[in-house]
Structure 1
Amino acid sequence: MPFSGGNVRLSIKLLVLLGAAVALGGLAVFILPTRPADDFRIYGNVELRQISLAFENGGRVTEMLAEEGDRVRAGQVLARQDKSALELSERQASARLKALEQAVLRLKNGARPEELAQARARVESARAQADFASRQDRRMETLAGRERAVSQQDRESSRSARDVAAANLEEAQKSLELLEIGPRDEDIAQAEAEAEAARASLASIRRDIAQTELTAPRDALVRSRLLEPGDMASAQRPAFQLLVDRPKWVRAYVPEIRLGRLRPGDRADVFSDSFPERPVSGKVGYISAAAEFTPKSVQTEELRTSLVYEVRIIVEDPDNILRLGMPVTVRLAPAMPEKSS
């Protein structure tokens, strides 16, 4: 049966449409990404280390030198406290230490030559007084024996004066001996210990003064500023919340049936909803040795009631695409299992 012109044109149109469909399908094979057979995906959240930075001692805040979002360097001063009371204590402790150090020096140096000369002069004076009192006592004794011209009271007074003069001489001699010998070793050790205690007290006060400046312990990002000038700070009340964005990782969970396909060091790509076209490179850094029930934050129906293993993906994010708590998709390309020999 011969074909009419209309049928021929319809057949040509059908062939053209069929060819176009085939061409589009072939193009899609090359353009659209395909998932490798050994590739699988897990879901997790970005995590960072956080630092709650607080003053070590209580006191009134005078300055807050950082704002939310500031990037700070290790050692940078972020806040200050009032230190006027501590500075007064430092002056007092410093003066006491100087006095004790001079006392130690005086004990070690011993008596001055002038002090020794003065002590010897006292001995000579006491000896002269003792000799005079002794002569007077002998004279009174002689008079009392011959004619009884001396009363009993005068006789006793001369004896008492003799004994007192002798005692004064002995005291002066002992004092001279102590000056010549010098202080005891125990006295020097005690004075040195008191000076050392004062030195430690001064060092403690100076450390407290240094602690009135709150510094960043490492390079970080200020997440929260929690105090203001005029607030009373304490060790239990943080002044700043800091984020340490290096290293940065993703905490995710893998079921036991897939655990054997992962090894530390496996490469991974991390995708976020904010930048789906800009994957962040990473690698498997930690695989838990213990199973746990799936945390509530895991959203996939497959894992909600399963025992899973925690996996941490360490990421390299120089452009700071990933933020704390951000939900992400991790595409893993596990290493092929080793062939048995």
Structure 2
Amino acid sequence: MRRTVIVGLLVASGAAAGAWWWLTRAERAPKPLALYGNVDLRQVQLAFNNSERISAVLAQEGDHVRRGQVLARLDQSRLEPQVAQAAAQVAAQWQVVERLHHGNRPEEIAQTRAQVAAQRSIVEKLRNGSRPEEIAQARANVIAAQAEAVNARRRYQRLKSLSAVRLPDQSQVQAVSQEELDDARAALDEAEAKLTVNQKALELVLAGPRQEEIAESEARLALNRKALELALAGPRKEDIAQAEAQLRGNEAQLAFLKQQLADTQLMAPADAVVRTRLLEMGEMSSPQRPVFSLAIIDPKWIRAYVSETDIGKLRPGMTASVTVDSFPNRHFEGWVGFISPVAEFTPKAVQIEELRTSLVYEVRVFVKDPSDELRLGMPATVSFPPDRRGPQALEVPR
């Protein structure tokens, strides 16, 4: 009997010890951590850089758009002629730079040499004075003019004498008409004028060129020689640098206008969903007036808040399981991408078990959503397995 009591006490003691060990073990075992928050993503407001009339709006609210997709366009009728003009100026200035780099053509140098040679001949001729042949020719011209003037004067005097003679039996009729006499007088005047011209020419030939003419001709020769030196030396480095600087300025202006022309197209910066269409075709755009409001579909995260007592259980890169009420049987893979270093009071929109006046830390749990099922603002539950860390090499989206 006594042995039975002892055995019973031992069994009872063992059962009590086992129960105590089990209960204390359960208390020591880490509990899964659950956070509650909402789906969040980045939103952008798209506006044109220029103020111009909108010519086309190509996206509707709710459309899924891809990165680089054109969503709207501005009127390009003002910019296209400016781009064409700037391109023509670049082409013209490029030709100037090329011409300066290559220097003067052989034909241009040969032409300048010919001008120098021609002007040198003129100077030598002026310095040497008139040639004997020229003087002899001038004297011959004077002699011929004198003979012509003598003959003209004799004829005129003869006709003048005859003009006073009356024909026999015709007292009123002259032997020479007045018209013939006038013609003879005109011929005499012309011969005397020609003689005067030839005499002046002979005087100039005998006197030779004036010093002023020689000086003027020598000055022209000096200018032609300087032009030849410049042609042989080619353009100056300063002229080439100036032309190249002008070319760069024209190219910069062309690039600026091309960028303005490209800015007439409003493109999606990333894969997104059109939330709001704010302007329509025909309205005036400006940098201060957004045309679209977009929701960027990647990355997505759950914005949740963790209490100060649980903040030590989270580490960046830790994996998590995310569920939403809309898809209760779906588990979205996630990881901790951001833990706020600053504590704050519990936001009114967040519900946790602790008091609202408790200090909490914002946590962002990024979620993989390849099917694009999560929507902005959806309530979500984030579950962390006890003492489980995700791979530290996970890339955390910024």
Distance 1:229 1:128 in 2: 77
The residue type equivalent to 1:125 in the other structure is: A
Q: More displaced, 118-127 or 96-105?
A: 118-127
User: Would you say how many aligned residue pairs link Structure 1 and Structure 2?
Assistant: 288
Find the residue that maps to 2:213 and give its secondary structure.
helix
Q: Does 1:67 align with 2:119?
A: no
Residues 111-170 of structure 1: CA deviation (Å, up to 9, x unaligned): 333333332222222222222332349xxxxxxxxxxxxxxxx99x82222222221221
Report the TM-score, using the length of structure 2 for normalisation: 0.65
Q: How does 1:135-284 map to 2 (within 5 A)?
A: 135-136=128-129, 158-276=210-328, 278-284=330-336
Residues 29-73 of structure 1: CA deviation (Å, up to 9, x unaligned): xxxxxxx97134332221011122222322221111111111111
Residues 287-319 of structure 1: CA deviation (Å, up to 9, x unaligned): 222211222322447341111111122223345
Distance 2:98 2:357 in 1: 78
Distance 1:92 1:58 in 2: 21
Distance 1:277 1:112 in 2: 84
Structure 1 residues 325 and 135: alpha-carbon distance in aligned structure 2, compared to 1, 3 A threshold: same
Q: Does 1:101 align with 2:81?
A: no
Structure 1 residues 40 and 166: alpha-carbon distance in aligned structure 2, compared to 1, 3 A threshold: closer
**1:302 corresponding residue in structure 2:** 354
> Which stretches in structure 2 are left out of the alignment for 5+ residues?
1-28, 131-205, 390-398
Distance 2:221 2:299 in 1: 85
**2:341 corresponding residue in structure 1:** 289
Distance 1:169 1:88 in 2: 49
Q: How does 1:12-91 map to 2 (within 5 A)?
A: 38-91=31-84
Distance 2:388 2:258 in 1: 61
> Which stretches in structure 1 are left out of the alignment for 5+ residues?
1-35, 138-153
Report the TM-score, using the length of structure 1 for normalisation: 0.75
Deviation for aligned residue 1:93: 0.7
**1:143 corresponding residue in structure 2:** none
Distance 2:273 2:124 in 1: 91
The residue type equivalent to 2:101 in the other structure is: K
Find the residue that maps to 1:47 and give its secondary structure.
strand
Aligned partners of 2:318 and 2:388 also within 8 Å: no
Deviation for aligned residue 1:279: 4.8
Find the residue that maps to 2:39 and give its secondary structure.
strand
The residue type equivalent to 2:114 in the other structure is: A
Q: More displaced, 71-80 or 282-291?
A: 282-291
Find the residue that maps to 1:257 and give its secondary structure.
coil
Find the residue that maps to 1:260 and give its secondary structure.
helix
Distance 1:214 1:251 in 2: 31
Q: Does 1:125 align with 2:118?
A: yes
The residue type equivalent to 2:37 in the other structure is: G
Find the residue that maps to 1:232 and give its secondary structure.
coil
Aligned partners of 2:30 and 2:386 also within 8 Å: no
Find the residue that maps to 2:381 and give its secondary structure.
strand
Q: Does 1:334 align with 2:383?
A: no
Deviation for aligned residue 1:261: 2.7
Q: More displaced, 160-169 or 295-304?
A: 295-304
Distance 1:322 1:99 in 2: 58
The residue type equivalent to 2:302 in the other structure is: V
The residue type equivalent to 2:285 in the other structure is: A
Find the residue that maps to 2:87 and give its secondary structure.
helix
**2:160 corresponding residue in structure 1:** none
Identity %: 51
Q: Does 1:313 align with 2:306?
A: no
Distance 1:179 1:328 in 2: 83
The residue type equivalent to 1:217 in the other structure is: P
Deviation for aligned residue 1:276: 4.3
**1:28 corresponding residue in structure 2:** none
Find the residue that maps to 2:78 and give its secondary structure.
helix
Q: Which has the larger radius of gyration?
A: 2
What CA RMSD, in Å, does the superposition of the two structures yield over aligned residues? 2.9
